[in-house]
Amino acid sequence: MCECHEKSDLSLIEETLNKYQDVSGSLITILQHAQDIYGYLPTDVIYHIAKRTNSTPANVMGVATFYTQFRLKPVGKYLILLCKGTACHVNGADRILGSLCEELKIKDGETTEDGLFSIKSVACLGCCSLSPVMMIGDETYGSLTPEKAIGIINELKAKEAAK
């Protein structure tokens, strides 16, 4: 049993577990479904997955921490993925990251206190012709400058304030 404080609704993952718990090599698929459901991988969900797949929490956590696609902490409503690949790096990604972090008052990998924004540098977004580039949700923003990136953030802030 999980000795943690989180209390996730474990019934949400039952359909996935029923389908994959006895399928060899399905742990990544289970973790992907869990993250889709919860937005990240809560500790109690990791323990539950371990129990149902006859694994150990350490094994499940090992897989979850090995692959960068998995998150162990909740992210903001707007997850900013900033490309740090070669083309983006050469074209000023570090300046954009600095501006975003200063504007949002967070560091790379953190979430704003209001839970609205998270920022994460990634190795590549595959949009080199648009460098420097960031993604927020399904939207790709290219040919960025620090000012343009801040403008996009301010538009999202205004959109949220209008709700």
What pLDDT score was predicted for residue 6?
67
d(CA 94, CA 10): 40
Percent of the chain past pLDDT 70, that is, above it, reads: 96
In the chain, residues under CATH classification 1.10.10.1590 are 10-66
Query: Where residue 5 falls among pLDDT bands split at 50, 70, 90?
Result: low
CATH of domain 78-161: 3.40.30.10
Task: Express each pLDDT in 90-128 by its tens digit.
Answer: 999 999 999 999 999 999 999 999 999 999 999 999 999
List Cβ<8 Å contacts ≥24 apart for 108-112: 108/82, 111/73, 111/74, 111/75, 111/76, 112/76
Average pLDDT over residues 40-55: 96
pTM > 0.85 = no
CATH of domain 10-66: 1.10.10.1590
In the chain, residues under CATH classification 3.40.30.10 are 78-161
Judged against a pLDDT cut of 90, whether residue 161 lies above it is answered with yes
Judged against a pLDDT cut of 90, whether residue 4 lies above it is answered with no
